[in-house]
Structure 1
Amino acid sequence: MQSIDRTQTRPAAALGPAAPAALAREVRGLVLLPGDAGYDAECAGFQLAGPHRPAVVVGARCAGDVAAAVRFARGHGLPVAVQATGHGRSAATDGGLLISTGRMAGVWVDPAARTARVEAGVVWGRVVEAAAPHGLAPLNGSSPGVGVVSYTLGGGVGGLARTYGFAADHVRSVDLVTADGRPRRVTAERDPGLFGALLGGGHGLGVVTAMEFALMPVARLYGGQLVFGGERVDEVLAAYLRWTRDVPDALTSSVALIAYPDLPQLPEQLRGRYLVHVRIAYTGSAEEGERLVAPLRAVGPRVSDDLREMPYAASHTIHRDPSEPHAYDGDNALLGGVDAAALRRVAALTGPAAPVMCVVQLNHLGGALAARDTAATAVGHRDARYALRLLSPLPGDAPEAGRAAVRALHAEALAAVAPWRLGRSVNFLFGGHGQRPDAAEVARSVHGADEQRRLADLRAAHDPENLFRFHPAAAAGRASAGA
């Protein structure tokens, strides 16, 4: 097959004042240009590194606004980026068109059907809140402020993952505006190829304006954190690996290693300490949960232990993710297994003596994550047993200046688990990985070469002008579609 270069769009047409004015008459939301009041706020997101600097911003209020923005971008040769919250921004648009979906915030729960329908800008906290009165729960992530759509398009691994699988596995329909500016509803029955590619394939096939997905009959959890001092890191990691060999699918967990800086804005109990956090979410009884976690408690004294029964609406307290925007970069490895010696090496590299701060998290996978029909979505590496995630803050005043040191540390730590590495999760690629020199390899690590070729062919069919290129997976378009 002939090589296809999808890194370029046709040259952008010059934007005189008449063009944005005409677009503003077509949309209900905002149209902003550089220098306009509100432009910087509309471009900002949770990720402060690499901010968007588009030629035009459309603050969409409805699907019609999104369609008008896409038609405008196509007509003027502008690449399109989309942002709801900006947590997982993979690449910033410079001179293109940014569609900001935060105002599209509708949530509708059907308790009889056990489904929720959300618009493009909805965050998980809103869905948890809407579903809780009905004894239902979404397959949300650990942070209530993360956007539903982007999380789900990347697969979605949350606190109920081993029990129910990926969030992408439970989507019923996706409302999408494709590169021709045409709204369409995509389902497994109407268009199984496009539907499956959207779920787990991430972005690059259009702009999602709404999504419907199943809710789970979960009203409460047994969960929380066991926190150990860093002097026990090797013991905790070894015990965690033994423990996760045979825990039931109803139990989803992770362990995080964090060397907290000595900063006054941190709580006193964290400031300047190296701690090991074991996070637990169990859908069974509290009594059985207590029995299951006993081997972890036997490791030794804890700095804190707040395992308890809680309403599902309080599940965000298990991880306590930061809520303030900041600059960061992150990479990850999906692992077919791992041993304690490799994890000790990771801990030694990323602990208090590391040249930059690094948050390390090991998620236990398997269970329902591995049990679904692999052909139904584009979620890759379902046979992974663990996900090793690395995230480091970047200097707030000059984030790009610290990125090289962060990526060097991450690469060295991930090299320690290379014998077990299957690939990457697109959900945990933070920063401009689509612009790395090895971006094509990064993209192939998410899906594998065969699946990446299939996705590239779909993108070429649905977006021949490469309008939606701001995503790591789009890097595969740099390679031959037949390579």
Structure 2
Amino acid sequence: MVPTIPPADVEELGRQVAGPVLTPQDDGYERETAAYNLATPIRPDVVVGAVDAADVSAAVAWAAAHRVPVGVQATGHGADLPMQGGLLISTARLQECTVDPEARTARVGAGVRWRSVLEASVPHGLVGLNGSTTDVGVVGYTLGGGLPVLGRTYGFAADHVRSADVVTPDGRRRTVDATHDPELFDLLRGGKGNLGVVTALEFGLLPLDGLYGGGIFYPGADARDVLTAWSRWSADLPETVSTSIALLRLPAMDIVPEPLRNRFVLHLRYACTAGDEEAVRLLAPMRHLSDPVMDTVGRMSYRDVDAIHLDPPVPLPFRDAGRLLEDVDDATIDALLAQAGPDTDCPLAFIEIRLLGGALSRVPEGGAELVPGRDAPYLIGLVGLAVPPDGERVPAAIEGILASLGGHVSERTMVNFLGSVGGNADSSRAWSEEGHARLLAAKAAYDPENLLRFQHAVRA
């Protein structure tokens, strides 16, 4: 990479921050810039490993003064699109994580993963609203709305945020909440990283003494029966149940449970906050269906919540996309199985349909109005590994499946599910028309030079 920032300017940046400042020629650059998605190249001209909010403020102010665009990364899970050039601010070192059991709140720095929150909160009978894996960073996930494992019961993670520490593109540090800069506070919750670099969040925790959850894996040959049964069963579930169903083509890798290796299976995910007897009763119609390959559903500590979705625990190269879905009727199932059923050579590793609704459909008092998807019944996500021999076929397969769903699939999505395929660089589809207009107006006010332009930035 040919440097585009003069060395003297990089040296100036190094004098203004306490953390490491690295260019592509420096040891540690690759480690500092690595994303969870190994197929997404993150190649900034310079990266700052911020050690605190003061470093973030200094780095942003430097970037503004030198007109250098800025990207932000903590765990790298949000890196859907490539970054070429500019300044990357790594917030991975911001590891503050405190829990107040009496107030039922947590305060976390921008580098904290959900696993750390649960380790601190579960002993007090409290949980935060993490997504399908606790390996994801709290802040980036929540700024995108945050679709939790228990979303139908408790709503979006962004609905529970109490305050945010943010560095706006002028380098100014602010603490915003419902009474201090309320419009900025509202737009941060669901606006992702468009209006500033969030260095810490405070959010509410929920009392929960474990749950009844896990997964059931069915043979792929039973795909039609399982999808049809799941569609009809899930339509009448109470808000105590959150569920999804996934078509999985699993490789023969050590990270895959042995009975599932090199197989095409369907994976029912189940999370219920009701008592065990009620949870068992509600699941019974699906549990007695087909002849499962594996059944891991039972009473669990919330510390073990990753066992419900079993997301890959290591970085992988992949291409993906997500859309809101209008229904899962017979026509939807026919179209999906024609493209990705057991008799096809579909190259996708993962096609998931999540049931929405319940508490996700409501904006609670003081909740995150910008978060989309509240009126959608389902979300579909598609993922394919970007590796030989089928990696080159993945984007076309994703687009083909979405096209085959026709009017059943929406053009809209959620910002955390925009992905990298199917025109997802157009981020406007991640918000309502009104929400996008609000973001554009705020962007013009807070970031008129479009300093924060990487990943899913709003644009007119």
Q: Does TM, scored on the shorter chain, surpass 0.5? A: yes
Q: Distance in 1 between matches of 2:124 and 2:252?
A: 43
1:391 aligns to 2:383 (yes or no)? yes
Q: Which residue matches 1:406?
A: 394
Q: Give, in angstroms, the shift of residue 219 of structure 1.
A: 2.1
Q: Is the contact made by 2:129 and 2:148 (CA closer than 8 Å) also made in structure 1?
A: yes
- 2:413 maps to 424
Which residue number in structure 2 is paired with residue 5 of structure 1? none
The Cα offsets for residues 331-385 of structure 1, whole Å up to 9 and x where unpaired, read as 1121232313312321331245234233011111100001225984310131111
Equivalent residue for 2:153, pick from 148, 163, 168 = 163
The CA distance in 2 between the partners of 1:199 and 1:212, in whole Å, is 12
Deviation at 1:271, TM superposition (A): 2.1
Instruction: State whether residues 360 and 391 of structure 1, in contact with CA within 8 Å, keep that contact through their aligned partners in structure 2.
Output: yes
Which amino acid is the alignment partner of residue 168 of structure 1?
A: A
Q: Name structure 1 gaps, 5 residues minimum.
A: 1-12
TM-score by length of 1: 0.90
Contact 1:195/1:377 (CA < 8 Å) preserved in 2?
no
Residue 7 of structure 1 is matched in structure 2 by none
Q: Is the 8 A contact 1:169 1:372 kept in 2?
A: yes
Does residue 19 (structure 1) correspond to residue 3 (structure 2)? The answer is: no
SS in 2 for 1:82: strand
How many matched pairs? 455
Mapped contact 1:26–1:68 kept (Cα < 8 A): yes
Give me the whole-angstrom Cα distance separating, in 1, the residues matched to 2:258 and 2:180.
Answer: 55
Please say if residues 223 and 341 of structure 2, whose CA atoms lie closer than 8 Å, have aligned partners that are also in contact. Answer: no
Structure 2 match to 1:367? 358
**Greater mean deviation of Cα atoms: 65-74 or 347-356:** 347-356
Work out which of the residue numbers 237, 242, 247 in structure 2 matches 1:252.
242
| Alignment pair present for 1:469 and 2:453 | yes
Please report how far the alpha carbon of residue 18 of structure 1 lies from its aligned counterpart in structure 2 after TM superposition: 2.5
Shift of residue 55, structure 1, vs aligned partner = 1.1
Q: Are 1:382 and 2:374 an aligned pair?
A: yes
- Going from structure 1 to structure 2, the CA distance change for 1:268 and 1:355 (only over 3 Å counts) comes to same
What residue in structure 2 maps to residue 131 of structure 1?
Answer: 121
CA distance in 1, matches of 2:127, 2:265: 30
Which letter maps to 2:130? N
TM-score when scaled to structure 2?
A: 0.94
* Offset of residue 269 of structure 1: 1.4
Task: Say yes or no: does 1:452 pair with 2:436.
Answer: yes
Q: What does 1:255-334 correspond to in 2, within 5 Å?
A: 255-262=245-252, 266-334=256-324
1:20 CA displacement? 1.9
- Separation in structure 1 between the aligned mates of residue 443 and residue 375 of structure 2, nearest angstrom: 26
Rounded to whole Å, the distance in 2 between the matches of 1:21 and 1:268 is: 52
In the alignment, is the contact (CA less than 8 A) between 2:350 and 2:383 conserved in 1?
yes
1:9 aligns with none
- Equivalent in the alignment of 1:94: 84
Equivalent positions of 1:213-252 (< 5 A) are 213-252=203-242
2:331 is aligned with 1:344: no
Q: What's the CA shift for 1:427?
A: 1.1
Partners of 1:447 and 1:378 lie apart in 2 by: 7
Percent identical: 45
CA pair 286-245 structure 1, distance change in 2 beyond 3 A: same
Q: Secondary structure at the match of 2:122?
A: helix
The CA deviation at 1:204 is 1.2
Q: CA RMSD in A?
A: 2.0
- CA offsets per residue over residues 172-229 of structure 1, 9 Å max, x none? 0111101100010111222222111111121211101000000010120001111110
8 Å contact from structure 2 (residues 418, 430) kept in 1: no
Whether 2:61 is the aligned partner of 1:71: answer yes
SS at match of 1:36: coil
Q: Deviations over 1:147-171 (max 9, x none)?
A: 1111101111111100110000000
Work out whether residues 166 and 200 of structure 2, in 8 Å CA contact, stay in contact via their aligned partners in 1: yes
CA contact under 8 A between 1:332 and 1:414: conserved in structure 2?
Answer: no
Deviates more, 1:82-91 or 1:458-467: 82-91
What's the CA shift for 1:266?
A: 4.4
Residue of structure 2 aligned with 1:415, choices 403, 406, 417: 403
1:186 touches 1:194 (CA, 8 Å); kept in 2?
A: yes
In structure 2, what is the Cα distance between the partners aligned to 1:417 and 1:274? Answer: 21
What amino acid maps onto 1:316 in structure 2?
D
In structure 2, stretches of 5+ residues that fail to align are none
Deviation of the 1:93 alpha carbon:
2.3
Query: Aligned partners of 1:30, 1:95: CA distance in 2, in Å?
Result: 18
Q: 1:357 to 1:102 in 2, by over 3 A?
A: same
Kindly indicate whether the alpha-carbon contact (under 8 Å) linking 1:91 and 1:432 is maintained by their aligned counterparts in 2: no
The alpha carbon displacement at 1:446 in A equals 1.3
Tell me how far apart the structure 2 counterparts of residues 265 and 391 of structure 1 sit (CA, whole Å).
17
Q: Using the alignment, how far apart are the partners of 2:215 and 2:259 within structure 1?
A: 15
Q: Which amino acid aligns with 2:86?
A: G
SS of equivalent to 2:309: coil
